[in-house]
Amino acid sequence: MNETVRIFLQDHEPIDFLFEQNRDDFIVDEIFAKPFKTKGNFLILHVKKVNMTTWEMIERIASFLNIPASSIGYAGLKDKYATTTQYLSLPLKYERSLNKLQDKQITILETFKDSKKISIGDLKSNRFTVTLRNVDDIKAGKIEKVARNIEKIGFPNYFGYQRFGQDSETQAQQMIEGEIFIQDKKLKKFLTSVYQSKKFNEWLKERVEISKADAINGFKLLKGDVMMSDDDKLFTPKSPSLTDFRDKKIVLTGLLVGREVFRARDEAREIEKKYDDELLQEKGLRRRAWVYPQDLTCKYRKKDSAMELSFVLPKASYATVFIENIANKNFN
């Protein structure tokens, strides 16, 4: 079960630059979906972490406070090899104890109060600041040109390479086919998500190939596609409006296989069903298949041969895929 090659609409020659995820060159700031209240029974932490996963940070804080990790709420997972900021919630009664926390990898930037615990998905988007190295004047011009074009037409919202560990895809396939039995619930859920992500990427790759074959300027919509409106409602229009799609009034969604999920129809379903698994017991979902970077800035630092890109992406999308799209090649 090899990782799906991610292909993109642009046909430009690959741009060669150095891209690494590390604490200096990959910075992520979580943008929350709503303002916090000034009172309530929950303490909201705005935290910065360096070179550790969100789960590692939560487990370390939970261990320090001697509480279950499930008592700490979070909106989304952030990359390990990076400097990231995000929001956590925990019961207000631990506020005083938390003041004694000292950790070289975790910094509490500020605190708030709110009446509700933070739940997965509460975030709105993420701001990324990514530094590309080994960039000269010519490459800098090419990078900005391609990035600006992607800002206008968007890019396919593949799951990035971070989603697929070295052995996780093989394990996921073996588990789904019944060759191995996974008892650990967390591992089983993770491997199921890897399987769903793999299917999604395979479907999206074919849809990009169809669009490229038709030589249209952008992504090709099909009759029966499941779209998402501004208020996140799913619907299947009789005839998908390419104008509304390009104007970002509607968003194409792809299938995360499973039960009780809105499936495509007609022509779109003919493609989708090749990557479906209606026997999977995990609950299915729809995922944004096309995203647009916003608030893009490009800063070329000639002195250290570096290009700094800053941009905002909606939740559940990968900055690394945007960078791959600019380079027109896959990273791993």
pLDDT given for residue 192 in this prediction? 86
Which active-site residues does the annotation give? 79
Per-residue confidence (pLDDT) for residue 162, from 0 to 100: 82
pLDDT at 223: 94
- Note the pTM of the prediction, 2 decimals: 0.91
98: exposed, middle or buried (C-beta count within 10 Å: 0-12, 13-18, 19+)?
middle
Q: Where residue 166 falls among pLDDT bands split at 50, 70, 90?
A: low
pLDDT of residue 194: 87
Which whole number is the average pLDDT over 256-273?
Answer: 95
Q: Are the C-beta atoms of residues 232 and 315 closer than 8 Å to each other?
A: no
Using 50, 70 and 90 to split pLDDT, how confident is the model at 217?
A: low
The CA distance from 305 to 261, in Å, is 48
pLDDT value of position 179: 79
pLDDT of residue 113: 93
Instruction: Say what the pLDDT of residue 189 is.
Output: 82
pLDDT in tens, 34-90: 888 888 999 999 999 999 999 999 999 999 999 999 999 999 999 999 999 999 999
For position 216, what pLDDT does the model report? 65
| Rounded average pLDDT over 138-161 | 95
Compare 248 and 264 and report the one with higher pLDDT: 264
Residue extent(s) of CATH 3.30.2340.10 domains in the chain: 132-295+302-307+315-327
Q: Which of 48, 39, 43 is nearest to 94 (CA)?
A: 43
Give the model confidence (pLDDT) of 2-20 as tens digits: 678 999 988 899 999 999 9
- Answer CATH for 132-295+302-307+315-327 from 3.40.640.10, 3.30.479.10, 3.30.2340.10, 3.40.50.300: 3.30.2340.10
Residue type, 220: K
Residue 295: per-residue pLDDT: 97
Three-class HEC string of 183-235: CCHHHHHHHHHHHHHHHHHHHHHHHHHHHHHCCCCCCCCCCCCCEECCCCCEE
Q: What is the pLDDT of residue 221?
A: 93
Say what the pLDDT of residue 241 is.
Answer: 84
What mean pLDDT is reported for the chain?
A: 92
What value does the mean pLDDT take over residues 236-254?
89
87-139: pLDDT as tens digits: 999 999 999 999 889 999 999 999 999 999 999 889 999 999 999 999 999 99
Q: Are strands 251-256 and 106-114 parallel, antiparallel or unpaired?
A: unpaired
C-alpha closest to that of 198 among 266, 277, 126, 271 = 277
pLDDT at 239: 82
Q: What is the pLDDT of residue 173?
A: 79
Query: Region 241-267: what's the mean pLDDT?
Result: 92
Query: What pLDDT, on the 0 to 100 scale, is given for residue 284?
Result: 92
Residue 269 pLDDT > 80, yes or no?
yes
What mean pLDDT is predicted for residues 219-244? 89
26 or 189, higher pLDDT: 26
Q: Which residues lie below 8 Å from residue 263, measured CB to CB, with a gap of 6+?
A: 226, 255, 269, 272, 276
Residues of the chain with CATH 3.30.2350.20: 34-121
Decide if domain 34-121 falls under CATH 3.40.50.300.
no
Res 10: pLDDT: 85
Which has the closest alpha carbon to 199: 278, 125, 128?
278
